[in-house]
Structure formats: structure tokens, C-alpha cells
Structure 1
Amino acid sequence: MNCNAINSQISLSVIIKVCVVIPFFCIFLYCIVVTLHTFASHKQFLDNSRYILFAYMLINDTLQLLSSVLLFLFIVGNVKFAIVYCAPLLFFSTATFHNTPLILAAMSLERYVAIFYPLQRPAAWHADRIWIIILSLWLVSCILPIVDFSLGEPRPGVNVFSTPVLCRTMVLNSSPVQTLFKVSLNGLFFAVVLAIILFTYIRILLETRKMRQDRASVGKAMHTVLLHGFQLLLCMIAFIQPVTESLISVYAGLLAEHISFIIYFCFILLPRFLSPLIYGLRDESLRNECAPIGRHAVSLAK
């Protein structure tokens, strides 16, 4: 196969990938704008801790997708720039990515507190104090990339301020100590989050068998926590990317860049695309408020 044919295949592959990611991202962004507009327009959502945490998750996922899609476009477009400009974007993308499972755990705990302590809810879980929980989640998610990046070193011969490189985590991940730290800390991190989600799910499941009244609301809370667990599973698969890439390459025989795109789309982008649809469509109050806005947008488009 000559060079022109290879270049043609590479160009076609890049075009297909971009045409898959960008429309999905635009649809996601539209759903987010509609949902957040609904939150801002109705005070009853701002007085409920569950909806505030949901809005925070949507904002965090939007920021994560913005940074990850930018990194994706830089890589497929082979855009290179110095590490000093790349590091903040990688830090922001990593911090928001770590924040997602923390928010899922917080939302599961909020359902647990609302069911078991409806009249004696701790002050931090009230709507006017929920910012304490949100700030704590953000601080924890930032600690992980701070320590990670501080252990990393640029590759030999790479000048942080002038050498253009592809903006990928590998440019700051050349130390074996850093790799060991990331694997160990990510394992501990997700084990704690998984334990929280499993604990809340099992307790709510047991409660549904004892309660004779309001079983519908408890059952809905149980299903919500189960969805949090499914999203956490997708996040965990994204963190074991090297193992996943090896398995796919052995059984599917695809090129490395195609495998990386499949993992990026299925385990990083897709869970965040589904979040507003899953929670928005399942929640009757939110669905009823968003529907008129969606119909109005469709009428304007016509």
C-alpha cells in the first residue's frame, strides 16, 4: 500500500471520528442547556439538595467533556504545543473526571440521608449548605492530579516551555513511581466510592422490604443508586485502559488508535451523554418542566 493510500485512510478515519464525537457533544450540550435553564427558572429545584447535586454533576460533566473533546481534537489533528500550556488542560480534564464518581457517591448518600433521616437531616445536606459538600468534592478531586503531576517528569530532551508535544497524559507520566502511585490511588479511590454506593443500595433495598408506605419513592431511590453504580463501573473501566486496550487488540485485532477511540467514546463520553437523559427522563418533575422548553425550541427550528 503506497503512502497516498495510507494518508487517505488516516484522513478518512479522522473525519469519521470527528463526525461521531462532535454531533454527540452538541446534542449533549443542548440537553444540558435546557436542563440548567429549567433549574434556574424554577425555585423548587434550587431548594432541593438532590436537584442541586444533579445540576452540579451536569456542570462538571460539561466541563469534563469540553476539556476532553479539546484534547481529542488536538490529538487527531496532530496539534502540538509546549507542556506549560498542555498541563493546565490535562489537570482540568483529570480533576473533573475524578469528580464524577465522587458526585455519584454524594448523590447516593443524599438519597440515603433523605430516606433514613428525613426530619433529622445533617446541616451539610440541606439545600442552603450543600455547597460545603460540593466544595469538598472539588478539593478531593483536585488533590489527585496535583500529587500525580508533581511526581511526573517530562521525557528526556523535552523542554517544558518550548518543546512542542502532543497533549497527552503520557508526556507527564514517565516515572515508574508515578505509575505505581496512580494505580494504587485509583484502586483505593474507586474502592471507597464503590463501598459507599453498595452500602446505600443495600440499606435502601432492605428498607423497601420493611416499609409498607411510600414504597414507590424508596424503590425509585434504589433504582437511582443502581444507576450510579452502573456509571461508576464505566468510570472504572476507563481507568484500566491499558488492560482494556490489550484485551481488545488480542480479540479484535484493531489498530491502537482505533482502540483508544473506542474506549474514549464508550467509557468516557457515552456515560456523560447518558446522564442528563437518564436522570431527566426518569424524574417526572424535571421531565414535565423541560418538555415545554424542548417543544418551543423545535417550533423555532421549524
Structure 2
Amino acid sequence: MLRIFATNRHFLDTSRYILFAYMLINDTLQLLSSVILFLLVMCLVTFPTVYCVPLLLLSTSTFMNTTLILATMSLERYVAIIYPLQRPAAWCSDRIWIIILSIWFLSFIFPMIEYSIGERDPAVDILSTPVLCKPIYIKSSPIQAFFRAAVNILFFAVVSVVILFTYIKILLKTRKMRQDKVSASKAKHTVLLHGFQLLLCMLAFTLPITESIMVPHVSWPPEDIAFFNYFCFILIPRFLSPLIYGFRDRKLRDCFGKTFLSQTKPTQCKGQAAEQFTCFLSWFI
């Protein structure tokens, strides 16, 4: 998908596609960091805390970032339908990076606060004492657990309200519109899809519940249970979410077919912002 955005630059003249490409990059980073952490824990690899914290910070931030991206994409559809001729400057393709930077800031600031308020064990030297890189060893104080739960509830509650608000507004707008009902209907279904994506993200919070249920009823080793839950509730949602959204879009679906048939002809990019974003995508690939 990232290759399609890098080779078909006209997509990057539209805010909706820029946000989708940003979601792909974020989910790729989230999967990369979580897979590395999972393998390190499964192989019982220990190393100093100073190297563990950045991995946990990246994994936590990109996980929270996904929910904010879904809310932003729903708001983008709301703005496109409600204000088609008077779109705010921040939602234009050459200014959307301001919103993206704001999302990154919010996603990073809360995990950093969580790490900073934790109690430090004087017997553990963050530069030399090897530890197993799991959140329970790095974020073990009750105040951190309470802060993390409060932030997660706040994020998902806000995103749920935003998605519900945009869906109702677009639904009411659709009933009033006499022209371009097709676009409004597609926007309504898109917002519903974001709600489904949010539910997929929330599956990650069922890990402790499913593990406690499976342990007494399944004769699997703890490592197999952990892998099963990780595969079902972390990997699968991150895979399905962009795949469903990407194949649902007709333009992207056509590009998929052309790419797999090796018939894609890259087009020229329009605008300095799109050119810079395309260069970043090309480097990322």
C-alpha cells in the first residue's frame, strides 16, 4: 500500500489519502515494535532499561495514535461533506501535516508522563541492570496503572464520541441533500467503518481477560496462550483495519490490480507538500 502511495503521487493531493498513508505508517511502526517486544519476551532476552523504554514508548504511542487517526479521518469526512466549498485551511492537503504533528504530540506526551511518574527501584540501574522488556517490569507502580487506564478510557471515549457525532451529522446531511447523495452515502459508510476499526483496536484490552479465562480451561503452555492472544487481538486487527479500508476505495483498489499486474504508471506529484510526503514514503519503503 505504501508503494502505491509513493508511485501514484496524485493521491497525496487529497487529505483523506494522506491520512490513510499516515495510518499505514503508524500501524507498520506499531507492528514492528510490538513484534520485536514479543519476540524478546518469548526468547527471554534481557537488556538494560534504557534500551527497553524507547521500544515500549514507541509501541504504546503508535497504539494510541491509531485511535486518534480514526477520529481525524472521520472528522475529515465530516468537513468534506458539511463544508464542501469552505473547507478550513487546516484540512487542506498542504496543511494537513499540522494536524498530523498534533496527533503525534498527543500520542507521545501521555506515555512519557506515565513513565515519568513511576517509582524507581534503587536496586535497578537503568544503564546496566538487565531486565525483561515487559510493561509490568517498567510500569509497575499503582499510580502508573491508574494513569494508563484513565488515559485509555479517555482516548477511546473521545474517539467514540467523535465518530458517533460525525456519523449522525453526515446522516442528517444526507437526508437533506438532493445532489451528490452518492458521496454523502459513501462518507457515512466510511465513518461506520472507522467505528468498526475502533472496535478492532479495543480488542487489545481483552488480553488480560482472555488469558485468565483460557489458563484454567486450556492445556496450553503459557507461551502458546500469549502467542494466540497476541496474534488474534494485536496482529489481526492491525492487518484487517487498513486492508478493509484500502480495498473499499475504488481508486486504491484499481491501483492494487495494476500494481500486482506490474502495469502501474507513476504520475507526477502536484504541490510541494505532496512532493515532500512522497519522498518520505519512498525513504520509508
TM-score by length of 1: 0.81
Q: Is the 8 A contact 1:155 1:174 kept in 2?
A: no
- SS of corresponding position for 2:262: helix
- Please tell me whether residue 99 in structure 1 is matched to residue 99 in structure 2: no
Distance 1:255 1:154 in 2: 32
Q: Tell me, which stretches of 5 or more residues in structure 1 are unaligned?
A: 1-34, 298-302
In the TM superposition, residue 292 of structure 1 has moved relative to its aligned partner by 1.6
Distance 2:259 2:137 in 1: 44
- SS of corresponding position for 1:296: coil
Match of 1:81 among 24, 42, 47: 47
In the TM superposition, residue 267 of structure 1 has moved relative to its aligned partner by 2.1
Distance 1:251 1:184 in 2: 31
In the TM superposition, residue 212 of structure 1 has moved relative to its aligned partner by 3.2
Matched to 1:144, the amino acid is: F
Q: Is the 8 A contact 1:113 1:121 kept in 2?
A: yes
Distance 1:84 1:191 in 2: 33
In the TM superposition, residue 246 of structure 1 has moved relative to its aligned partner by 2.7
Q: Note closer, same or farther for the CA distance 1:49–1:101 as it changes in structure 2 (3 Å cut).
A: same
Give the equivalent residue in structure 2 for 1:6.
none
Give the equivalent residue in structure 1 for 2:183.
217
Give the equivalent residue in structure 2 for 1:227.
193
Distance 1:189 1:280 in 2: 25
Match of 1:195 among 129, 149, 161: 161
- Please tell me whether residue 148 in structure 1 is matched to residue 95 in structure 2: no
Matched to 1:78, the amino acid is: L
Q: Is the 8 A contact 2:67 2:155 kept in 1?
A: no
Which structure ranks higher in relative contact order (CA pairs < 8 Å, sequence separation ≥ 6)? 2
Q: Is the 8 A contact 1:50 1:107 kept in 2?
A: yes
**Residue deviations 1:106-136, cap 9 Å, x none?**
0000000000001111110000000000000
Q: Note closer, same or farther for the CA distance 1:156–1:250 as it changes in structure 2 (3 Å cut).
A: farther
In the TM superposition, residue 89 of structure 1 has moved relative to its aligned partner by 0.8
**Residue deviations 1:248-274, cap 9 Å, x none?**
446657554433323322222112111
* Identity value in percent: 62
Give the equivalent residue in structure 1 for 2:281.
none
Distance 2:190 2:128 in 1: 48
Give the equivalent residue in structure 2 for 1:45.
11
Q: Note closer, same or farther for the CA distance 1:212–1:252 as it changes in structure 2 (3 Å cut).
A: farther
Bigger shift: 267-276 or 237-246?
237-246
Give the equivalent residue in structure 1 for 2:208.
242
Higher helix fraction: Structure 1 or Structure 2? Answer: 1
- SS of corresponding position for 1:81: strand
Aligned alpha-carbon RMSD (Å): 2.0
Runs of 4+ in structure 1 displaced over 6 angstroms?
A: none
In the TM superposition, residue 188 of structure 1 has moved relative to its aligned partner by 1.3
Q: Note closer, same or farther for the CA distance 1:160–1:293 as it changes in structure 2 (3 Å cut).
A: same
Q: Tell me, which stretches of 5 or more residues in structure 2 are unaligned?
A: 264-285
Matched to 2:40, the amino acid is: F
- SS of corresponding position for 1:165: strand
Distance 1:192 1:231 in 2: 15
